Structure formats: C-alpha cells, structure tokens
C-alpha cells in the first residue's frame, strides 16, 4: 500500500508565511486599541485589504465585500500564494456583475485571518513572538468593528453595498444591525443569523482534528518550525463535504475509481472522491494557518444576532433604512433556505425594504462561488438599483 499523500507539500511554506507580515496587499495599521467582545483589547492591529476600481468624488460608490471562513482579501486578482484566480473573480471586475468600472470595491482580510490582518500568527507586541493561543477569541462583531475602523481610515462614511456569502453574510448582517446609518444596501448570501448546532458540531470536528495533530504543539507550531498539516487537511476535508451536496458529489465523481480499474482492498484513495478530498485538504494547508482556522470557526460558532438583541431577531433591525437582498440556494444544506427566510421574516416585521431569492442550484453551499447566471443577474440588478436609488450613475448598456 502506498503512503497516503497527506505529508506531501505542494508549495514552499515560506511563500504563505511571508503574507502574514508583509502581505501583497494594501495595509492599514491602527495604533488605537480595538475593544473585543471577549472583554480584551487588541492594543494595535492591522488590516490587509484589496481594492478594485476608483472611489468617486463624493465617496458614495463603495462596495464592501466580506469574505468567508477560508477566503481572504484577494477577490478579483491572482492569489499571491496559490497563483489561482481571485475567489470571486466571476462576480467582481470590469464589466462583471459588480462592475469595477463603476464601483470602488474593497475587500479586507478579517482580523483573526492569516493574509496580513492581525491574527494568531501575527507577532504579539507584548512578547515579540507569534500570538498563537494568546490571541484573544474574536467574534463576527469584532471583525466588523475593525472593518468600520478601516472605513474611517479611508474616509468613507457610507457603504453603497456590503455583500458576502456564508461567514461573509454574517458580517453583512452584523454591519446592517450595528452600523445602520453606514449601510445603504446589504446582500447576505447563503448565511444565517446564528450558527446552527449542526454547524457548530462540524466546526468542532475540524478543530479537534487540528488539535489532535502532534505538530500543532499546543498552538506554538510556528515557534517549533512545524505545522499541523495533517490535522488541518483532515479538518478541511470534513468541512469541504459540507460545502457541496450529495447531488454535486454524485454527478462529479459517482463511484468512479481513481487511476485504477478495480478496488485494491486497501486504504489508498481508490475512489475519485477520496483523491479529490485529499487534494482539497493538501492545497488548503498550503494557503491557510491552522490557528486562524480555530479562531475563525469559533467566531462563526459564537454568532447569534438575535441573542445580542433580546432574543428577538427583528430587534436587530429596528429603524433600518437599508435595502436588503437575501439569497439562498436550494442545494445548500449547511445554511438552508429556512435560515435566510427567518432573516426575511425579521426584516418584514420591521417593514424593512427586503428582497429575497432562493436560487435553484446543485452545487450546495459553495453555489455562491460558482458560475450561477441567476446569481449574477440578481446581484447585478440589485447593486445597480441601489446605485440608481443613491443617485450614482449605473453601468450603461445593461437592461434587465
């Protein structure tokens, strides 16, 4: 039996580590402390961000994109570590649904992340070493509070549209609830107002896989010159299944065998789906930090917008003037349509301006990242309508 390829390295480790301290992005440093929900503060912090397009004279054309759990700020450019296209380059760019010829698009790396914003792999100013588990536990609200500071820093009072999928959608909801006057329109995609028990359970599996890897070294692996690659790869493999659907996996792989004619009566990757998952796990560890994975999954687990507002979700949106467009996908069992519908009902209860589309897809939770023309039409139409309502010239030559 050949060795399972979980120890294989695809990319030079240092390429990723370089992005922590010196990201290939714009970076904003903040010397005033960031108060956190856990009661602690980040004495200083940095946010790495990408921008696309041009900010107009009255600073009214900003579209803020919030990334998902394992995303980063590289929405529409070649990724500096993987060399692959940006994670939403089908959505953001010149002539794309979010047309950077007309809108100024900003995507910050979340705090807790590992692509240049302050996170557990950043240097702790108090010790001169990487934070590791000394990094305080952060929340979605903390991420958004840091982003608001970035907008202050850039001198942008109001966002034309804030949008994101999955954990990005959670940030969108947090933005709309906490900064009502700063959000003209909001597009939460494939998300929920609170992380479900099942989703917390999946995250716990992932975290336990990371922490069970001896190379995790109680979170001090950077000091030890190691990396819990196997644990993080397994975490990613388990999580990746939840981003797809039975239908998508069946269509893509069925029970097809990988480079062989018959099963081998062993534990090598006989099936294509196994080989695919192993590849997903391996390529993930080349671009992501294990401790960031722990912290960011925890932030999602703790997200419960209603709990922050007297257990009534509608209270989070009282008085909102924001225009909302929620999108869910029929094949998404991780953040099923019912979760979006609950948000819609809460918004209806405060008579908010809300649109809601459930799109028929096969791709599962990851549908928001895939080529889904109806998603593109929805986003393009909604963002352009928001621009029109805000008095900004919208892209020409486009009609619904």
Partner 1 sequence: MNVNVAPHGLRTANDTSRVDLLLIADMVTPGARVLDIGCGDGTLMRLLASKRGADARGIELSQAGVNNCVAQGLAVIQGDADADLVYYPDLAFDYAILSQTIQATYSPRDVLEQLLRIGKRAIVSFPNFGHWRVRTQLMFRGKMPKTHNLPDRWYDTPNIHLCTIKDFLDLCRDAGAKVERVVALNASGSKLGVSMPLFAQNLFGEQAVFLLSR
**φ, ψ of residue 355 in degrees (nearest 5):** -115, 150
CB atoms within 10 A of CB 182: 18
CA distances (Å), origin 326, targets 66, 90, 312: 15, 19, 19
Q: Give the span between the Cα atoms of 26 and 88, in whole angstroms.
A: 19
CA distances (Å), origin 282, targets 6, 112, 260: 7, 21, 22
Which of 72, 372 has the CB closer to partner 1? 372
Q: CA 213, 271, 275, 236 torsion: positive or negative?
A: negative
Contacting residues toward partner 1, per CB under 8 A = 323, 325, 341, 344-345, 348-351, 353-360, 374, 377-378, 380-382, 384-386, 388-389, 399-400
Residue 77 burial by Cβ neighbours in a 10 Å radius (0-12, 13-18, 19+): middle
Which of 36, 163 has the CB closer to partner 1? 163
**Minimum gap (Å) between residue 390 Cβ and partner 1:** 12
Which of 293, 382 has the CB closer to partner 1? 382
CA distances (Å), origin 268, targets 1, 176, 259, 264, 278: 7, 48, 11, 8, 11
Residue 106, C-beta contacts closer than 8 angstroms, at least 6 positions apart: 49, 50, 51, 62, 63, 64, 65, 150, 154
**Minimum gap (Å) between residue 11 Cβ and partner 1:** 40
**Minimum gap (Å) between residue 341 Cβ and partner 1:** 8
355: three-class secondary structure by DSSP: strand
Tell which residue, 365, 226, 371, has the closest CA to residue 300.
365
Residue 219, C-beta contacts closer than 8 angstroms, at least 6 positions apart: 120, 132, 133, 291, 294
**Minimum gap (Å) between residue 319 Cβ and partner 1:** 13
Which of 140, 326 has the CB closer to partner 1? 326
Length of the chain: 400
Whether the Cβ atoms of residue 186 and residue 66 lie closer than 8 Å to each other: no
Give the helix/strand (H/E) hosting 349: helix 337-349
Which of 54, 389 has the CB closer to partner 1? 389
**Minimum gap (Å) between residue 354 Cβ and partner 1:** 6
Annotated catalytic sites, by residue? 166, 332, 365
Which of 211, 344 has the CB closer to partner 1? 344
**Minimum gap (Å) between residue 386 Cβ and partner 1:** 7
């Amino acid at each position: 039996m050949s060795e399972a390829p979980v120890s294989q390295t695809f990319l030079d480790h240092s390429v990723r580590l370089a992005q922590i301290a010196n990201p290939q992005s714009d970076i904003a440093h903040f010397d005033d402390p960031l108060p956190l929900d856990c009661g602690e503060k980040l004495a200083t912090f940095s946010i790495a961000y990408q921008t696309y397009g041009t900010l107009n004279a009255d600073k009214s054309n900003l579209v803020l994109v919030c990334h998902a759990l394992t995303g980063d700020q590289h929405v529409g450019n070649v990724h500096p570590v993987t060399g692959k296209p940006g994670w939403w380059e089908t959505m953001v760019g010149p002539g794309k649904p979010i047309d950077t010829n007309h809108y100024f698009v900003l995507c910050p790396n979340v705090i807790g992340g590992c692509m240049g914003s302050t996170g557990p792999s950043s240097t702790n100013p108090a010790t001169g070493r990487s934070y590791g588990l000394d990094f305080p536990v952060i929340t979605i609200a903390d991420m958004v509070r840091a982003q608001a500071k970035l907008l202050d820093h850039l001198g942008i009072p109001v966002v034309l549209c804030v949008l994101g999928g999955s954990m990005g959608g959670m940030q969108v909801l947090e933005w709309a609830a906490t900064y009502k006057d700063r959000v003209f329109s909001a597009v939460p995609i494939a998300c929920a107002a609170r992380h479900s028990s099942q989703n917390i359970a999946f995250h716990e599996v992932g975290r336990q896989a990371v922490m069970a890897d001896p190379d995790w070294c109680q979170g001090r692996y950077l000091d030890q010159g190691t990396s819990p690659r196997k644990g993080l790869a397994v975490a990613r493999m388990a999580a990746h299944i939840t981003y797809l659907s039975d239908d998508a996996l069946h269509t893509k792989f069925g029970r097809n065998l990988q480079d062989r004619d018959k099963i081998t009566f062993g534990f090598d990757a006989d099936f294509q789906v196994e080989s695919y998952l192993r590849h997903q796990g391996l390529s993930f560890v080349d671009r992501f930090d294990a401790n960031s994975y722990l912290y960011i999954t925890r932030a999602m687990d703790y997200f419960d917008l209603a709990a922050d507002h007297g257990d009534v979700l509608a209270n989070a949106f009282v008085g909102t003037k924001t225009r909302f467009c929620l999108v869910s996908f029929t094949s998404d069992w991780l953040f099923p349509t019912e979760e979006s519908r609950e948000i819609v009902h809460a918004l209806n209860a405060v008579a908010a301006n809300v649109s809601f589309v459930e799109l028929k897809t096969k791709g599962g939770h990851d549908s928001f990242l895939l080529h889904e023309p109806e998603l593109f039409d929805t986003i393009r139409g909604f963002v352009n309508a928001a621009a029109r309502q805000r008095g900004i010239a919208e892209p020409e030559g486009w009609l619904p």
